[in-house]
Amino acid sequence: MPTRAAITAVHGYVPEFRLSNEVLETMVETSDEWITERTGIKERRIQTGRDQGISVMAIEAVNGLLKKRGIGAEEIDLLILATVTPDRVFPATANIVCDAIGATNAWGFDLGAACSGFLYALSTGAQFVETGKHKKVVIVGGDKMSSIIDYTDRSTCIIFGDGCGAVLLEPTEEPVGIYDSILRSDGSGCQYLNQKAGGSMRPPSERTLEAKEHYVFQEGKAVFKHAVTNMSEVSAAIMERNGLTANDIAWLVPHQANKRIIDATAQRMGLDESKVMVNIDKYGNTTSGTIPLCLWEWESKLNKGDNLILSAFGGGFTWGSIWLKWAY
């Protein structure tokens, strides 16, 4: 049997503060009914407090992960953090997390692929395990989206929230773990979903601040159209490539961007909604955090050998799917 990378533990963290649709009604011109009908979101969690970056949530998620697995931080070989809201431009937030948890033998880096970030990181980390290079790889996906959201822009502030999840990858010879992945990107989609300033092309200035260019910009209709097509197609493609039918799939673990996109993906795969993980109503779109938060919340319902399809679409454009068999 080939060596595969298996998820052997999962943990998540969401901030306590809840931002409900009812509160958003007092901030922008919107309504609970309008938000629910178009997105499926009822509330989202917001990280509050001074100097609280994504590292705070990541540290909580990883410490919980290690405790659950019963291992020490010094046993971690590699930590990959998928995020588009790092604490700083540099150093990598992964380094800050490793230092805080005491992962003295680990190296780490941040990976930015927006809402597909966790899939990209999971696939990347798996290859270090499959080749025998590393034995314990931690994959973290999380974002503090509230740090780059304009709460006067009703097209974006209703969608995003803060949250983080982490998984541990370890080698296995058993017929479980990550079997296949399809990852895609198309930079021509940059114009529809981006953060205009803050990078080397448009460094921070009075002008960029006045123009609100440090917030998420989204052309909703174009993004929705591409997301529905690409996320559903890549999910069906990984099933077809591996001879899987809807009956073989225990769970679809979709990126939580919009309930209508999730429904379209499940429909394309021929799945009943009872096989679809959905928690967008509670957390909104946490970008890199959505998929690991689903795994964390559904952990008790997963059985060893269950076929899971992980699927996402995000800024870049980036999109992809992963087929794995649950390992415990």
CA distance to 155, 178, 261, 277, 314, per residue, from 294 (Å): 24, 17, 16, 6, 17
The verdict on whether 255 is a catalytic residue reads yes
pLDDT digits (tens, 9 = 90+) for 100-130: 999 999 999 999 999 999 999 999 999 999 9
Judge if pTM exceeds 0.95: yes
Q: Looking at 95, 157, 285, 294, which residue is catalytic?
A: 285
Extended strands (E) in the chain: 4-13, 17-20, 43-46, 78-82, 107-111, 137-144, 162-172, 177-185, 193-195, 216-218, 251-254, 307-314, 318-325
Beta bridge partners of 109: 80
Exactly one of 255, 258, 279, 294 is catalytic; which is it?
255
DSSP 8-class letter at 102: T
Which residue among the candidates 11, 98, 115, 294 is catalytic per the annotation?
115
Locate the domains of the chain by residue range. 4-175, 179-325
**DSSP run (H or E) holding 156:** helix 154-157
Within 13 Å of residue 168, how many CA atoms lie on the same side as its CB? 25
Sheet holding 318-325, edge to edge: 177-185, 318-325, 307-314, 251-254
| pLDDT averaged over every residue in the chain | 97
Q: What is the pLDDT of residues 140-182, one digit of tens each?
A: 999 999 999 999 999 999 999 999 999 999 999 999 999 999 9
Question: Is the peptide bond prior to 160 cis by the omega test (within 30 degrees of 0)?
Answer: no
Q: Is the pLDDT of residue 1 over 90?
A: no
Domains 4-175 and 179-325 share a fold: yes
Contacts of 122 (CB under 8 A, 6+ apart): 139, 167, 169, 178, 181, 310, 322
CATH number of the 179-325 domain: 3.40.47.10
The CATH superfamily label for domain 4-175 reads Thiolase/Chalcone synthase (3.40.47.10)
Q: Is 285 among the residues known to form the active site?
A: yes
Q: Say which residues have a Cβ less than 8 Å from residue 150's Cβ, sequence separation at least 6.
A: 156, 157, 212, 215, 216
